[in-house]
C-alpha cells in the first residue's frame, strides 16, 4: 500500500493554488495524478479548509474533504482543519469531525490562516485531540516550538510536516523525533532529496514513525516515492514508510 499522508485537494469555487505553474485544475485531475504516481490512498484536506478564517469557511472546507472521501471511497481519507482564532467554534468543529469518524487533523498551517500555536484556544483544541485520540499533523517552523508541543501534549501523536529546508533544520527535526516518542516525521518538503536524510530520519525516529507525505498539490508525490524506493532501506522498512505506518495509525483510531 502506498499512502500519501499529506495532500491538499482543490476546492470548488476557490481560485488560486500553491502550484508554481497551473497544473491541477480540479479534484478529478488531482486524484488522477496521485494514481498515476502509484498512490493508492491519500490523507487529504482542502484548499478551502487551509484558507478558512471564519467558522463557515472552516466547516465548509472540512465538508469538502468529507465529500471527496464519498466521491472516491477507499482512496481519499478525509483530514480536517481548524482555525485557532475561532475559539469555541474551533473546539466544536473538532468534536463534530470526530463524531463523523475523522481521526486525522491537519496539516495545520497557522501561518496561512493567521493563527498561532501558543494560544489558549489552540491548547484546548490539542487537549481535546488528545482525549479523542486524533492524530495531529502540523506545520511548525521552529524546532523549539515543536519541542514544547510534544512535551506539553505527550499523549498527542504529532506528525511534523516537512523534513526541513536546511541541513541544520533536517538534523534538528530528526533529533526531536529521537527525543519525543510521540513525534512522527512526514517526509514532504525539500529535505528528503538531500543524501542521507531519509536514512537519518529512520535512524532517529525508528522505522515505525517515518511517513510518506508529499505536500501535493504543491509538490510531486513521484519524487518522494522514488527516493524511498531507491534507498538502501530494507523492503519491510520501505513498506512501513510508504503506507504501513499511516495505515496502522488510522486503524488504531478506528478509521473505516
Assess if residue 256 is contained within a domain: no
**Grid coordinates belonging to 191:** 529535505
At 16 the pLDDT is: 62
Number of domain units in the chain: 1
169: domain CATH number is 3.20.20.140
Q: Which domain holds residue 46?
A: 3-251
Assess if residue 195 is contained within a domain: yes
Instruction: Give the whole-angstrom CA distance, residue 42 versus residue 30.
Output: 11
Assess if residue 223 is contained within a domain: yes
At 231 the pLDDT is: 97
pLDDT, mean of each 10-residue run, the chain (256 residues): 96 79 92 98 96 96 97 98 97 98 97 95 97 97 92 98 92 96 95 94 98 96 97 98 98 92
At 17 the pLDDT is: 72
At 12 the pLDDT is: 82
Look up cell 514532504; give the residue. Answer: 188
Instruction: Give the whole-angstrom CA distance, residue 235 versus residue 233.
Output: 6
Is pTM, for the whole model, over 0.85?
yes
Amino acid at each position: 500500500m502506498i499512502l500519501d499522508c499529506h495532500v491538499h485537494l482543490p476546492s470548488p469555487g476557490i481560485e488560486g493554488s500553491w502550484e508554481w505553474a497551473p497544473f491541477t485544475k480540479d479534484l478529478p485531475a488531482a486524484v488522477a495524478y496521485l494514481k498515476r504516481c502509484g498512490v493508492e490512498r491519500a490523507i487529504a484536506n482542502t484548499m478551502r479548509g487551509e484558507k478558512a478564517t471564519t467558522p463557515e469557511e472552516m466547516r465548509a472546507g472540512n465538508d469538502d474533504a468529507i465529500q471527496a472521501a464519498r466521491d472516491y471511497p477507499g482512496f481519499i481519507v478525509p483530514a480536517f482543519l481548524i482555525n485557532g482564532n475561532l475559539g469555541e467554534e474551533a473546539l466544536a468543529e473538532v468534536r463534530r469531525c470526530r463524531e463523523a469518524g475523522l481521526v486525522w487533523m491537519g496539516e495545520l498551517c497557522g501561518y496561512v490562516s493567521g493563527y498561532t500555536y501558543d494560544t489558549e484556544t489552540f491548547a484546548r483544541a490539542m487537549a481535546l485531540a488528545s482525549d479523542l485520540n486524533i492524530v495531529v499533523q502540523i506545520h511548525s517552523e521552529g524546532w523549539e516550538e515543536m519541542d514544547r508541543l510534544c512535551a506539553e501534549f505527550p499523549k498527542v501523536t504529532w506528525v511534523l510536516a516537512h523534513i526541513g529546508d536546511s541541513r541544520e533544520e533536517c538534523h534538528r527535526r530528526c533529533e526531536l523525533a529521537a527525543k519525543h516518542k510521540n513525534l512522527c516525521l512526514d517526509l514532504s518538503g525539500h529535505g528528503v532529496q538531500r543524501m542521507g536524510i531519509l536514512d537519518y530520519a529512520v535512524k532517529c525516529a525508528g522505522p515505525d514513525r517515518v511517513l510518506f507525505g508529499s505536500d501535493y498539490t504543491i509538490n510531486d508525490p513521484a519524487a518522494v516515492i522514488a527516493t524511498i524506493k531507491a534507498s538502501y532501506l530494507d523492503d519491510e522498512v520501505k513498506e512501513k514508510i510508504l503506507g504501513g505506518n499511516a495505515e496502522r495509525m488510522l486503524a488504531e483510531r478506528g478509521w473505516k
